[in-house]
């Protein structure tokens, strides 16, 4: 195996600011820019100014594509009108978006834990340990693995219980009492919850969806998968405003809500599609919520930077958040 090439040389904050300036970024206040780099980090901010970098083009003016990623190749130089201050503003914008998304996801996660524990727990207090409710294909060991998906999930959730030091778990351990479903879910994270729903048989899945007025298991499963990814990105302070997923969210067929929104392919793999999903769920979980108005107000404040478009969020056009589609 070939030895990796040496890393780029270390640069102090003042040198990094000078480097950005030499590449065409407008630096209005060099000392302030140095402080922002010291606070946030060069490579964290680089994800926010990346869309403002120029494209590499051939002699005909066509964008060159990377042979490995198939994505357009970017130059080190920036497009005219790229300001360091706007990059920091875009970071703050993204942070505010993350907080709004976490707020909505928390409501969905807490509600789903309650519903899953109630609908399964009323049939069997220890249903989460029983394969009776699980599709048989998930209990079989694939030739590529040493355990089934069900067995792996059981071990995962058991460890989460063992690691949980909430009073309810300590009390059950001290009394040597089995932990019922409605207590066990308090140790689960969103990923544990979404995988459990995916493995359930259609009948218990239907019990859960009925509480939300939904019927499309396939669509809901994709929502949980992508919401879990979004939650993890938000929890780890990772950029979300222009992220594109390799997986699309499915939309329920003939659903009036999604028909009115008319989400295109771009929306189904970007943040706007998940905003639409979260708002549908929130309206059924927390009637009267004003979350969508907060989202719209924030998105309409997106800082202006070359290459940083509303399409990158998944919105249908560049006029801002489509308030009329959401009745606001």
Quickly list DSSP for 247-301: SPPP--TT-HHHHHHT--HHHHTSHHHHHHHHHHHHHHHSTT--HHHHHHHHHTT
My answer on whether 104 and 238 are in the same domain is yes
My answer on whether 37 and 162 are in the same domain is no
Take residue 24 and report the two structure tokens written for it.
């065409």
My answer on whether 147 and 37 are in the same domain is no
Residues 6+ apart with CB under 8 A from 1: none
Burial class (CB in 10 A: 0-12, 13-18, 19+), 288: exposed
Q: Which pLDDT band holds residue 59 (cuts at 50, 70, 90)?
A: confident
Evaluate whether residue 217 is within a structural domain: yes
Q: Look at the chain and report how many structural domains it folds into.
A: 2
Take residue 10 and report the two structure tokens written for it.
């270390």
Range of the domain at 176: 91-326
- CA nearest 94: which of 240, 211, 206, 293? 240
Evaluate whether residue 149 is within a structural domain: yes
Sign of CA dihedral 55, 57, 61, 64: negative
My answer on whether 122 and 213 are in the same domain is yes
Q: Is 132 helix (H, G, I), strand (E, B) or coil?
A: helix
Percent pLDDT > 70 in the chain is 100
Q: What is the pLDDT of residues 266-305, one digit of tens each?
A: 999 999 999 999 999 999 999 999 999 999 999 999 999 9
Is residue 145 pLDDT above 80, yes or no? Answer: no
Is residue 11 pLDDT above 90, yes or no? Answer: yes
The answer to whether 255 and 133 are in contact (CB under 8 A) is: no
Evaluate whether residue 190 is within a structural domain: yes
Evaluate whether residue 269 is within a structural domain: yes
**Which of the pair, 250 or 71, is modelled with greater confidence?**
250
Q: Is 128 helix (H, G, I), strand (E, B) or coil?
A: helix
My answer on whether 129 and 208 are in the same domain is yes
Q: What angle do CA 13, 17, 18 make, to 5 degrees?
A: 115
Give this prediction's pTM. Answer: 0.94
Q: Is 129 helix (H, G, I), strand (E, B) or coil?
A: helix
**How far, in Å, CA of 312 to CA of 84, rounded?**
20
My answer on whether 179 and 33 are in the same domain is no
Q: Any idea what DSSP says for residue 134?
A: B
Evaluate whether residue 320 is within a structural domain: yes
**How far, in Å, CA of 250 to CA of 231, rounded?**
18
Mean pLDDT of the chain: 95
My answer on whether 134 and 252 are in the same domain is yes
Evaluate whether residue 127 is within a structural domain: yes
Question: pLDDT value at position 186?
Answer: 94
CB atoms within 10 A of CB 243: 19
Evaluate whether residue 80 is within a structural domain: no
Question: pLDDT value at position 147?
Answer: 86
Evaluate whether residue 191 is within a structural domain: yes
Question: pLDDT value at position 69?
Answer: 86
């Amino acid at each position: 195996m070939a030895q990796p090439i040496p890393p780029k040389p270390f640069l102090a904050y003042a040198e990094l600011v000078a480097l950005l300036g030499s590449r065409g970024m407008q630096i209005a206040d060099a000392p302030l820019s140095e402080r922002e780099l010291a606070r946030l980090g060069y490579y964290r901010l680089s994800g926010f100014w990346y869309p403002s970098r120029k494209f590499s083009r051939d002699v005909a003016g066509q964008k060159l594509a990377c042979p490995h990623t198939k994505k357009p190749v970017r130059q080190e130089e920036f497009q005219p009108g790229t300001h360091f201050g706007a990059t920091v503003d875009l970071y703050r914008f993204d942070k505010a978006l993350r907080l709004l998304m976490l707020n909505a996801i928390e409501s969905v996660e807490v509600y789903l834990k309650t519903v899953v524990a109630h609908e399964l727990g009323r049939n069997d207090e220890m249903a989460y340990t029983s394969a009776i409710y699980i599709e048989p294909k998930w209990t079989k060991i694939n030739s590529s693995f040493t355990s089934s998906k069900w067995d792996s999930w059981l071990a995962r959730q058991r460890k989460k219980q063992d690691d949980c030091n909430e009073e309810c778990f300590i009390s059950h351990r001290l009394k040597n009492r089995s932990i019922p479903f409605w207590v066990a879910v308090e140790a689960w994270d969103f990923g544990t919850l979404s995988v459990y729903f995916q493995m359930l048989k259609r009948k218990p899945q239907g019990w859960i969806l009925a509480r939300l007025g939904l019927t499309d298991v396939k669509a809901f499963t994709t929502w949980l998968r992508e919401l879990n990814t979004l939650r993890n990105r938000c929890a780890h302070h990772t950029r979300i405003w222009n992220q594109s997923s390799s997986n699309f969210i499915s939309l329920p067929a003939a659903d009036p809500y999604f028909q009115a929104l008319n989400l295109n392919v771009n929306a189904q793999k970007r943040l706007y599609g998940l905003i639409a999903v979260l708002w549908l769920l929130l309206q059924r979980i927390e009637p009267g919520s004003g979350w969508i108005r907060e989202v719209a107000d924030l998105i309409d404040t997106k800082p202006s930077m070359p290459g940083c478009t509303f399409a990158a969020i998944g919105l249908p056009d560049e006029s801002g958040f489509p308030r009329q589609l959401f009745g606001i």
